[in-house]
Structure 1
Amino acid sequence: MIKGIHHVSALTKSFSENHHFYSEILGLRLVKNTVNQDNIHMRHLFYGDYIGSPGTLLTFFEVPRIGSSYDERAFFGKITLGIPTDTSSYWEKRLNDFAISFQKDGQTLTLQDPDTMGIILTEIPATNSNPTIHTDIPAEKQLVRIIGADYHVPDPAATSQFFTNLFGLESQNGVLVDRDEMSFAKLHATTSDKKSRTGRGTIDHIAYTLETKEAVDELHDLAVRNDLKIEEFVDREYFKSLYIREPGGLRIEFASAGPGFTIDEPLETMGDRLALPSFLEEKRTEIETYFGGDLS
Structure 2
Amino acid sequence: MDQRILGIHHVTAIANNAQRNLDFYTGVLGLRLVKLTVNFDDPTSYHLYYGDENGSPGTLLTFFVWPDVPRGRRGTGQAITVSFAVPESSTGYWIERFTAHNVEFTRPMRRFDDQVIPFRDPDGLMLELVARPVSDLSARAQKSAWTAPVPFAHAIRGLDGVTLCVESLTQTESLLVETMNFNPVRREEGIVRYEIGLKGFGTTIDVRCAPEIGRGLVAAGSIHHVAWRTSDEITQREWRQEIARRGLNVTPVMNRVYFRSIYFREPGGVLFEIATDGPGFTVDEPLERLGSELRLPPWLESARDELERALPPLRLPNV
Question: Do Structure 1 and Structure 2 share a fold, with TM-score over 0.5?
Answer: yes
Asked whether the equivalents of residues 13 and 225 of structure 2 are also in contact (C-alpha less than 8 Å), the reply is: yes
Q: What's the offset of the Cα at 1:227?
A: 2.8
Query: Residue by residue, what CA displacement relative to the aligned partner does 1:114-142 show, whole Å, maximum 9, x if unpaired?
Result: 01111110111225514563223222221
Q: What's the offset of the Cα at 1:111?
A: 0.6
Q: What's the offset of the Cα at 1:191?
A: 1.7
Q: 1:277 to 1:101 in 2, by over 3 A?
A: same
Q: Of residues 241, 244, 264 in structure 1, which corresponds to 2:284?
A: 264
Amino acid in structure 1 at the alignment position of 2:163:
D
Amino acid in structure 2 at the alignment position of 1:180:
L
Give the 5 Å matches for 1:134-173. Answer: 134-173=147-186
Asked whether the equivalents of residues 76 and 215 of structure 2 are also in contact (C-alpha less than 8 Å), the reply is: yes
Q: Name the residue aligned to 2:7.
A: 4
Asked whether the equivalents of residues 19 and 314 of structure 2 are also in contact (C-alpha less than 8 Å), the reply is: no
Q: 1:21 to 1:293 in 2, by over 3 A?
A: closer
| Residues in 2 aligned to 1:295 and 1:44: alpha-carbon distance in whole angstroms | 15
Q: Name the residue aligned to 2:309.
A: 289
| Residues in 1 aligned to 2:19 and 2:279: alpha-carbon distance in whole angstroms | 29
Query: Secondary structure at the residue paired with 2:94?
Result: helix
Q: Are positions 1:189 and 2:236 aligned together?
A: no
Asked whether the equivalents of residues 18 and 314 of structure 2 are also in contact (C-alpha less than 8 Å), the reply is: no
| Residues in 1 aligned to 2:312 and 2:104: alpha-carbon distance in whole angstroms | 35
Q: Are positions 1:255 and 2:275 aligned together?
A: yes
Q: Of residues 102, 122, 147 in structure 1, which corresponds to 2:130?
A: 122
Q: Are positions 1:206 and 2:226 aligned together?
A: yes
Query: Residue by residue, what CA displacement relative to the aligned partner does 1:181-236 show, whole Å, maximum 9, x if unpaired?
Result: 54211111122595432221110001111111221121112223333211453121
Q: Are positions 1:60 and 2:63 aligned together?
A: yes
Amino acid in structure 2 at the alignment position of 1:146:
L
Q: 1:6 to 1:292 in 2, by over 3 A?
A: closer
User: Which runs of at least 4 in structure 1 moved beyond 6 Å after TM superposition?
Assistant: 292-296
Q: 1:11 to 1:294 in 2, by over 3 A?
A: closer
| Residues in 2 aligned to 1:11 and 1:279: alpha-carbon distance in whole angstroms | 24
Amino acid in structure 1 at the alignment position of 2:118:
T
Query: Residue by residue, what CA displacement relative to the aligned partner does 1:12-47 show, whole Å, maximum 9, x if unpaired?
Result: 011111111100010001000001111111110000
Amino acid in structure 2 at the alignment position of 1:110:
P
Query: Secondary structure at the residue paired with 1:10?
Result: strand
Percent identity over the alignment?
Answer: 30
Query: Secondary structure at the residue paired with 2:175?
Result: helix
How large is the Cα RMSD of the aligned pairs? 2.0
Where structure 1 has 5 or more consecutive residues not aligned to the other structure, the ranges are: none
Amino acid in structure 1 at the alignment position of 2:267:
P
Amino acid in structure 2 at the alignment position of 1:121:
L
Q: Name the residue aligned to 1:177.
A: 195
| Residues in 2 aligned to 1:207 and 1:290: alpha-carbon distance in whole angstroms | 28
Query: Secondary structure at the residue paired with 1:158?
Result: helix
Q: 1:140 to 1:213 in 2, by over 3 A?
A: farther
Q: Of residues 282, 287, 296 in structure 2, which corresponds to 1:276?
A: 296
| Residues in 2 aligned to 1:33 and 1:162: alpha-carbon distance in whole angstroms | 34
Query: Secondary structure at the residue paired with 1:103?
Result: coil
Moved more, 157-166 or 128-137: 128-137
Q: What's the offset of the Cα at 1:252?
A: 0.4
Where structure 2 has 5 or more consecutive residues not aligned to the other structure, the ranges are: 110-114, 187-191
| Residues in 1 aligned to 2:38 and 2:83: alpha-carbon distance in whole angstroms | 26
Query: Secondary structure at the residue paired with 2:33?
Result: strand
Q: 1:172 to 1:2 in 2, by over 3 A?
A: same
Query: Secondary structure at the residue paired with 1:27?
Result: coil
Q: 1:175 to 1:285 in 2, by over 3 A?
A: same
Asked whether the equivalents of residues 273 and 295 of structure 1 are also in contact (C-alpha less than 8 Å), the reply is: no
Query: Secondary structure at the residue paired with 2:206?
Result: strand
Amino acid in structure 1 at the alignment position of 2:233:
K
Moved more, 52-61 or 232-241: 232-241
Across the two proteins, how many residue pairs are aligned to each other? 296
Q: 1:293 to 1:11 in 2, by over 3 A?
A: closer
TM-score, normalising length from structure 2?
0.87
Q: What's the offset of the Cα at 1:74?
A: 1.7
| Residues in 2 aligned to 1:140 and 1:118: alpha-carbon distance in whole angstroms | 24
